[in-house]
Structures are given as structure tokens and as C-alpha cells.
């Protein structure tokens, strides 16, 4: 009789194991169904590419390696640079006519300006790990042909290629396989298409900028945010913590979006969602690659997702005329070896 509870426990484990197996199989089936629907909507191999890369710029990336081998199977680690673009009319090469008489500076759907968000994401099938490195927009680094600048200026100066080149140099010449740029307007549309996102706002956030019609008013606590409110959480930086405080809030939102985006109900609607935001996305990744990375994200254990921030410190007023995030090269070497399997080993 003493063994009876143990037998029940083992039986429950078997049931849970089966449920876990069929749960994974259902997600794979949904990915396959979504893949078929996406191929029906987007016939070209790079359906979200907005930029025209030169041969030199295109050769810097190696996105074709993402989907080698079996369909949807990631066979080696892949590094993708993701940038969030917040673009105002003066940032563009040609001022949009419909913004000239507004009397304020609206956000526009463009990829010409500064990169407000910079993330290097490593998809590692060997370690079954997803590592997300946030790079502060004020990071002081050398931009090829322009000298030392804030790293977010690289996109304005030379687009996605120069941004990726600058990030690679900053991190010891690491390989970057592809890039994704999403305009801030697309982030709002994505959150709305997902039906909103539930996050825990860490504290009251309040800010007003009439010149941009930017009005932020969020209360602390767990709440369900719509697209506009999610953008308020992303863009707030007036709490004395500057870019580092904003990165922490970006990571909170990212974790919530990952949880919500990779559930079966959302995956079934992914073709519709992507079609909604396709004009706000620019990427050189082909459709096979995007689906392969999505499949990896679906199957990974959430405990194996690591959020990181570039090691460094805020510059003092005596060092520079403007505020920078000064990278710590030694700590970066340690971090890259540990989480990106690159460079010096610990």
C-alpha cells in the first residue's frame, strides 16, 4: 500500500510527459500551417525587405545559413540584430509633405533615423538558449568613416549595414547573420493585433512633450496595455535612469510579448498579424529563415531565455560634453564568451 502513491505520481508524470509531447507537436503543426499561409501571402523570398543593400552590404550578412538542412530546423547558432526605429520628419532625407503643416513632429513610418532600440539576439540550438543583448542607444563607439559617435547614429549615417558593422566591431567582430528593423508605429500595431499585452509597469510614468504630441501617463502595477500604451512604456526615459531605465522596461515588455506571441492561439493568427505590420518592418532575412527562427522560439523553454545589457557605465560631466554609455571592454569579453560562445573564454 505504501507504493501506491508513488505509482500514482509516476502515472501523472507519464501523463504530463504525453501532454508536453502533444503540446509541442500541436505547436509544430501550427508553425507548419502558418508557414503554408505565409508562403501563400508572400511569394518572394524576402517579403519584408524595404532597404536596397549594396553587394558589399549584403555580403556582410549571411542569412542564407539560417535554414540549411531540414525545413524549420535550426542547425547552428545565429545572431540577428533587431532595431526599433523612432523616426521624426527631420530625420528623413526628404521631409514628408503631409507633415509640414501640422505644427508638431509626428512619428512617421521610415527607417532613416536613429535606432532607439538595439538588440543582438542569439538563437543557439546547441545550448537550447535564446540570449538577448540590449545595447544602450548612447553607447560611445567608433563608427566606420565617422569616428566616435553614439551607436544609435550609425543607422542614420549608413543604414542597417553600418549599424550591424558598428555592433560587430563593438563586440569584437562577432558575426551577424541578419537584421530586422521595426518602426515604432509597427510596434503599436503589433501589440494591438495581438489584442494588447499584459505587463507589470514598475512605477508611475508621466511625461508630456507637446512638440511631438508625446503624452505618457501610466500607473504602476500589472495591467493590460494597448498599442499606444505599450509605446508609452517603451519611450519613457525621464526618471533619472535615462537609457538604462528604459532598457529595463523594454526587457519587461519583450518578455511579455514573447510569452504572448508564442502561444498556439497567436501562432494560428500569425499570417494575419504579419500582414498587418509588414509595411513597418525591414529585414534581409528570407521567409525560410524567419519561420525557422520562429519555430526555434516556440520550442525553447522560457527559462532558457536570457536578457542581458551591454556592460559599462554612464560618463561623467567632466569627461564629455554629452552623456554617453561607456562600454567596459573586459566585461564585454567575458559576456561574449559566456553567452555568445565568442572570443575569450572565461
At residue 37, the pLDDT reads 63
Give 146's DSSP letter.
T
Q: What is the DSSP string of 183-243?
A: EHHHHHHHHHHTT-EEEEE-S-EEEEETTTTEEEEE-SEEEEE-HHHHHHHHH---SSSHH
At residue 158, the pLDDT reads 97
Q: How confident is the model at residue 246 (pLDDT cuts 50, 70, 90)?
A: confident
For residues 318-329, give the mean pLDDT.
Answer: 96
Map residue 12 onto helix, strand or coil: helix
For residues 80-88, give the mean pLDDT.
Answer: 94
Of residues 244 and 27, more confidence is placed in 244
Q: How confident is the model at residue 228 (pLDDT cuts 50, 70, 90)?
A: very high
Q: How confident is the model at residue 336 (pLDDT cuts 50, 70, 90)?
A: very high
Which positions ≥6 away from 52 have C-beta within 8 Å? none
At residue 89, the pLDDT reads 86
At residue 75, the pLDDT reads 86
For residues 217-242, give the mean pLDDT.
Answer: 91
Would you say residue 315 has pLDDT above 70? Answer: yes
Would you say residue 301 has pLDDT above 50? Answer: yes
Task: Tell me the pLDDT of the chain averaged across its residues.
Answer: 85
- What CATH number belongs to 4-339? 3.40.630.190
| Range of weakest confidence among 51-65, 121-135, 139-153, 208-222 | 51-65
At residue 299, the pLDDT reads 83
| Greatest mean pLDDT among 31-35, 196-200, 270-274 | 196-200
Residue % of the chain over a pLDDT of 70: 84
In order of 91, 99, 199, 209, the CA distances from 203 in angstroms are 31, 34, 12, 20
| Range of weakest confidence among 94-103, 188-197, 207-216, 332-341 | 94-103
Would you say residue 344 has pLDDT above 90? Answer: no
Q: φ and ψ at 174, to 5 degrees?
A: -70, 150
In order of 198, 215, 252, the CA distances from 222 in angstroms are 7, 20, 11
Map residue 331 onto helix, strand or coil: helix
Q: Smallest Cα–Cα separation from 155: which of 201, 128, 117, 120?
A: 117
At residue 13, the pLDDT reads 38
Q: How confident is the model at residue 5 (pLDDT cuts 50, 70, 90)?
A: very low
Indicate the domain borders of the chain: 4-339
Q: Smallest Cα–Cα separation from 323: which of 81, 152, 168?
A: 152
Of residues 38 and 86, more confidence is placed in 86
At residue 73, the pLDDT reads 84
At residue 329, the pLDDT reads 96
Q: Which helix (H) or strand (E) holds 96?
A: none
Which positions ≥6 away from 37 have C-beta within 8 Å? 270, 271
Would you say residue 96 has pLDDT above 80? Answer: no
Would you say residue 20 has pLDDT above 60? Answer: no
CB atoms within 10 A of CB 254: 20
Amino acid at each position: 500500500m505504501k507504493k501506491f502513491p508513488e505509482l500514482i505520481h509516476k502515472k501523472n508524470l507519464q501523463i504530463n510527459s504525453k501532454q508536453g509531447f502533444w503540446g509541442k507537436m500541436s505547436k509544430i503543426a501550427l508553425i507548419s500551417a502558418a508557414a503554408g499561409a505565409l508562403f501563400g501571402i508572400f511569394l518572394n523570398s524576402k517579403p519584408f525587405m524595404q532597404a536596397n543593400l549594396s553587394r558589399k552590404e549584403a555580403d556582410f550578412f549571411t542569412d542564407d545559413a539560417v535554414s540549411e538542412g531540414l525545413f524549420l530546423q535550426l542547425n547552428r547558432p545565429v545572431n540577428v540584430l533587431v532595431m526599433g526605429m523612432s523616426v521624426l520628419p527631420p530625420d528623413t532625407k526628404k521631409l514628408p509633405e503631409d507633415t509640414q503643416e501640422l505644427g508638431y513632429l509626428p512619428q512617421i513610418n521610415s527607417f532613416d533615423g536613429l535606432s532607439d532600440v538595439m538588440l543582438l539576439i542569439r538563437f543557439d540550438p546547441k545550448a537550447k538558449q535564446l540570449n538577448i543583448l540590449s545595447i544602450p542607444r548612447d553607447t560611445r563607439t567608433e563608427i566606420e568613416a565617422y569616428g566616435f559617435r553614439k551607436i544609435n547614429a550609425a543607422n542614420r549615417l549608413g543604414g542597417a549595414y553600418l549599424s550591424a558593422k558598428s555592433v560587430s566591431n563593438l563586440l569584437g567582430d562577432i558575426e551577424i547573420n541578419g537584421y530586422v528593423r521595426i518602426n515604432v508605429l509597427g510596434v503599436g500595431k503589433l501589440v494591438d493585433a495581438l489584442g494588447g499585452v499584459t505587463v507589470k509597469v514598475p512605477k508611475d510614468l508621466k511625461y508630456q512633450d507637446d512638440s511631438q504630441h508625446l503624452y505618457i501617463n501610466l500607473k504602476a502595477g500589472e495591467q493590460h496595455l494597448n498599442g499606444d500604451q505599450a509605446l508609452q512604456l517603451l519611450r519613457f526615459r525621464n526618471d533619472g535612469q535615462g537609457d538604462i531605465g528604459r532598457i529595463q522596461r523594454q526587457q519587461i515588455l519583450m518578455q511579455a510579448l514573447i510569452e504572448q506571441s508564442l502561444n498556439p492561439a497567436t501562432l494560428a493568427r500569425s499570417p494575419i498579424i504579419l500582414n498587418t505590420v509588414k509595411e513597418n518592418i525591414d529585414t534581409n532575412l528570407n521567409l525560410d529563415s524567419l519561420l525557422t527562427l520562429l519555430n526555434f522560439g516556440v520550442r525553447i523553454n522560457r527559462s532558457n531565455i536570457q536578457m542581458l545589457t551591454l556592460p559599462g557605465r554612464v560618463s561623467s560631466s567632466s569627461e564629455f560634453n554629452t552623456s554617453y554609455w561607456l562600454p567596459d571592454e573586459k566585461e564585454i569579453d567575458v559576456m561574449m564568451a559566456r553567452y555568445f560562445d565568442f572570443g575569450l573564454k572565461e
